[in-house]
Structures are given as C-alpha cells and as structure tokens.
Amino acid sequence: MGKKKQVASTPATAALDAAGISYVAHSYTHSDSAESYGAEAAQQLGVSGDRVFKTLMVSTGSTAAEDLAVAVVPVAAMLDLKAIGMALGKKKAQMADKAAAQRRSGYVLGGISPFGQRQHSRTVIDSSAQQFETVFISGGRRGFSLEIAPQDAAQATEALWAAITS
C-alpha cells in the first residue's frame, strides 16, 4: 500500500510519515448536520461500518479528565467501558471529558486520531480490526480518514489488542 500525499498534512500523517508507516489518505465532504461522525465516514467512503474505526478517549481515573486513554473501535459497534477498563488494568472506564480529550489529543471531536496526538496515551484497538487487510481511521480532522493496515496502526500507537466492544 503506497502513500497518497494530500495537500495539507495533519499531525497524524506527519507522525506516520516520520515512522515510515504506509497509509492511503481519503478526504470526503463532512456535513455539519451529520449525527454520527463515524457513520458519516463509512457512508462517504463507501465502506462497511465494521471496517471504519472511531477513536474515542476514555478515562480510567476518578474523574473524566484523569488518566486518559484511547479506544479504537468499529463505528458499527459500541465501546464496552468495562472491557476497555480491564484491558488497561482497571475495573472500568468512563468516557473522557470532551474538553480534556481535545486538549490531550490536540484534535477536535469528530476528528480525533490515535496518531500524532499532542500527548501519548495508552491505546487499545478492538481485536476485530485484525480480520481486515486495511481499516479506516481518522486522519486528524473531520472529513479525513486514513486507510492503514491494522498491524501498522497498532505499531504506530504502541497499542494493545483486546475485545472492547459490546
């Protein structure tokens, strides 16, 4: 899979380029009226929702702004907060505070990428990604996805594999 250069890079593409990891960039027109960023991406890209992955920030701390981590799950599935907590060595997790997620990642909601985040966070990718040759993950802005081999995504984020959907 070769790289397809886009006009503007993002911290996600810069991080993957620096690591020498191949991806294919896909842009689409984002609609402000979209109810689900992930479902919109799957529809716009013409790809099944089990192959397009959303990036969610979770907290394993006592508040939603502490001990943040990243969950990468199919847009067609729901994150299991107990499962991600256990994968991270905690009893459970909660969704991260939106402002804290944006500050830590350096991205806006709907465009959070697990790659090139402002601060490195522990990352867990749902094990279902391993069944595909490539998956689609946010490239760091709304309307921009990266097609990448799951093993390369895990390498780039130092991710754990776990079944984290319900």
Q: What is the pLDDT of residues 55-76, one digit of tens each?
A: 999 999 888 888 999 999 999 9
Residue 52 or 41, more confident:
52
CA distance 77 to 66: 25
pLDDT at 79 over 60: yes
What's the pTM? 0.91
How many beta carbons lie within 10 A of that of residue 127, not counting itself? 15
The first and second tokens of residue 75, run together, are 């847009």
Overall average pLDDT of the 1-13 stretch: 67
SS (H, E, C) 80-110: CHHHHHHHCCCCCCEECCHHHHHHHHCCCCC
pLDDT of residue 33: 67
DSSP assigned state of 135: E
Q: Indicate the SS3 state at residue 3.
A: coil
CA distance 112 to 18: 19
Range from 19-23, 41-45, 103-107, 119-123 carrying the lowest mean pLDDT: 41-45
The first and second tokens of residue 9, run together, are 């890079």
The first and second tokens of residue 148, run together, are 């990448």
Dihedral angle sign, alpha carbons of residues 20, 22, 13, 85: negative
Q: What is the pLDDT of residues 92-127, one digit of tens each?
A: 899 999 999 999 999 998 899 999 999 999 999 999
